[in-house]
Amino acid sequence: MPLTIDLTGHVALVTGGGRGVGLGVTRRLLAAGATVVSCGRTVPDGPLPPGAEHRTADVRDAEQVRDLVEGIVADHARLDLVVNNAGGAPYALADEASPRFSAAIVGLNLLAPLMVAQEANRVMQRQDGGGHIINISSESARRASPGTAAYGAAKAGLENLTRTLAVEWAPRVRVNAITVGPVRTEQAHLHYGDEDGVAAVARTIALGRLAEPDDVGDLCVLLASPFAAYINGSAILLDGGGTRPAFLDAANADHP
């Protein structure tokens, strides 16, 4: 008998679920049968996949987060999965970034996921079956992050937070992270330039391509399933095998 993942009856919240990586997560959770609620500060530019709900909320605001979670539970009676996906940062060199700018980046990428997780945990601890929280991290957490220093530091903190919450909230609530490498989204050009730039980046990755948002969504489906019941406190690297070390190309280059 083939193994299948059926999340019918599961209620999921995906922050920032209306575009980019979050839209891929929304799409794949829906395909697995879950009820999916997306949230964001504004209404998505394009339509959500059929069956998805959208609620307007700023995940940096504790009161709005509380109302968001309470509203989902009031309408659906439970909350089984949270994917903390909302985040990001514009390019800014560290010596030019203002304290206010840096605090905002840390707030969005570290403190907001914590607030969402806290509200979700209160629900999950008392419901049958507990729950699962997935934090979307970045490879910037594990390497230098020039141009996005506060973002990289916040994502490193998010991975440590994941491990801590996994210990504090077990066994009823599992907490994991996905450490994502380059992803081809509608905003990829902001990071990698035109199609030639995207192709050049893809050639540095072992699997020869950038991740697609659905790749992240598929891993979320797996982590939310019974097949991942013993995975807790992990930060799973999703980077296609990583990039070729720069020193190898430098060592083999023609030198003047």
Q: Give the SS3 label for residue 13.
A: strand
Of 91, 151, 192, 230, the catalytic one is 151
CA distance 131 to 21: 22
Per the DSSP assignment, residues forming a β-bridge with 37 are 13, 53
Q: Do 156 and 141 form a contact (C-beta atoms < 8 A)?
A: yes
Answer yes or no: 192 catalytic. Answer: no
CA–CA dist 130, 229 (Å, integer): 12
Q: How many alpha carbons lie under 13 Å from residue 62 in its C-beta half-sphere? A: 4
Q: Which residues are CB-neighbours of 232 under 8 A, at least 6 positions away? A: 166, 170, 174, 175, 176
Q: Which residue has the tokens 């629900």?
A: 123
Q: Contact, 16 vs 85, CB < 8 A? A: yes
Residues forming the active site:
151
